[in-house]
C-alpha cells in the first residue's frame, strides 16, 4: 500500500500541560478507539511511533481485507508496535476525527472498578484491557461511544449467560462459538491478548455483573 505519512505528535502540537490525556479516534464506520496520549508521546522516546497515513492520490488504496472499503481518508498506524505493546484496536482506519479528552473511566464512572477494590485485583487490569481492546466496539453499562457491537453490561452482561470457557473461546475466535455470514467481531490471539489478560477481562466482566440479577423485563 502506497502512502504518505505525518508523525501524529507533530501534527497535534500538544502542550505539555494539556488538560486531557486520551485521544479519542473516531472512524467513519462507528469504531471509536481510546488512545492514551502517553503512548503517542513515548514515540519520541524510543517507543512505538504513531503516524497518520494519507492516501497517495496517484495510487488509491485497495479495499481492506474482507471489507468493501479502503482505509481512506486517514489511517493511524504505528511504527514498531511491539515497543509499546500497541493493541490491534489502536490502529483506527477510515479515521474521521481525533479529540483530546479525559480517560474513559473518568468520563464514564459506571465502567470503573470501585476505588475500594484491592489494588492488585484482576478486575482492575481487566478494565484496562477492556478499555483498549473492547470499548472501541462495545459500550459497558452505557459507557463508551461505539455501537458497532452490543453493550456488554446492559441489559445483561455476558458472564450471566456464557460460561468462562465459552467467553474465553469467543474472545479468541468468535467463530468457534457461533458463526454466520455477517459476523463482524475479530478474534484476539495470544499475541494480542495474553492468557492472563483474558483471565483479567473475565474477572472484570464478572465484577461488572456483581449487582445484576437476570430479569426478563
170 binds ligand HEC per the rule CB under 6 A: yes
55 binds ligand HEC per the rule CB under 6 A: no
Specify whether the CB–CB gap between 79 and 39 falls below 8 A.
no
C-alpha to C-alpha distance for 152 and 97, rounded to whole angstroms: 25
24 binds ligand HEC per the rule CB under 6 A: no
* Cis check: omega of the bond before 155, within 30 degrees of 0: yes
188 binds ligand HEC per the rule CB under 6 A: yes
As given in the structure block, the three cell numbers for residue 176 are: 468457534
Interaction mask 2-21, ligand HEC, x per CB under 6 A: --------------------
Identify which range of 15-23, 50-58, 106-114, 179-187 contacts ligand HEC by CB under 6 A. 179-187
67 binds ligand HEC per the rule CB under 6 A: no
Specify whether the CB–CB gap between 122 and 40 falls below 8 A.
no
∠ CA(185), CA(153), CA(200), 5° rounding?
75
Cβ at position 48, least distance to ligand HEC in Å: 19
Cell 505539555 belongs to 16
Interaction mask 74-103, ligand HEC, x per CB under 6 A: ---------------x--------------
Q: Which of residues 98-157 bind ligand HEC (CB under 6 A)?
A: 133-134, 136-138, 148-150, 152
Nearest to 36 by CA among 128, 114, 112: 128
CA atoms within 13 A on the CB side of 179: 5
171 binds ligand HEC per the rule CB under 6 A: yes
164 binds ligand HEC per the rule CB under 6 A: no
Amino acid at each position: 500500500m502506497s502512502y504518505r505519512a505525518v508523525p501524529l505528535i507533530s501534527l497535534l502540537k500538544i502542550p505539555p500541560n494539556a488538560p486531557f490525556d486520551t485521544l479519542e479516534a473516531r472512524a467513519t464506520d462507528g469504531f471509536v478507539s481510546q488512545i492514551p496520549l502517553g503512548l503517542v508521546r513515548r514515540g519520541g522516546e524510543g517507543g512505538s511511533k504513531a503516524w497518520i497515513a494519507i492516501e497517495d492520490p496517484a495510487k488509491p488504496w485497495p479495499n481492506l481485507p474482507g471489507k468493501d472499503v479502503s482505509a481512506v481518508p486517514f489511517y493511524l498506524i504505528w511504527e514498531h508496535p511491539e515497543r509499546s505493546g500497541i493493541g490491534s484496536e489502536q490502529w483506527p482506519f477510515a479515521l474521521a476525527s481525533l479529540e483530546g479528552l479525559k480517560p474513559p473511566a473518568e468520563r464514564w464512572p459506571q465502567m470503573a472498578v470501585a476505588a475500594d477494590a484491592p489494588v492488585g485485583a484482576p478486575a482492575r487490569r481487566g478494565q484496562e484491557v477492556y478499555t483498549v481492546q473492547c470499548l472501541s466496539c462495545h459500550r459497558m453499562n452505557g459507557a463508551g461511544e461505539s455501537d458497532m457491537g452490543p453493550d456488554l453490561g446492559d441489559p445483561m452482561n455476558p458472564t450471566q449467560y456464557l460460561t468462562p470457557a465459552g467467553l474465553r473461546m469467543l474472545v479468541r475466535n468468535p467463530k468457534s462459538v457461533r458463526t454466520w455470514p455477517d459476523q463482524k467481531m475479530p478474534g484476539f490471539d495470544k499475541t494480542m491478548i495474553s492468557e492472563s489478560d483474558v483471565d483479567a477481562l473475565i474477572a472484570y466482566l464478572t465484577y461488572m455483573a456483581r449487582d445484576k440479577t437476570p430479569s426478563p423485563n
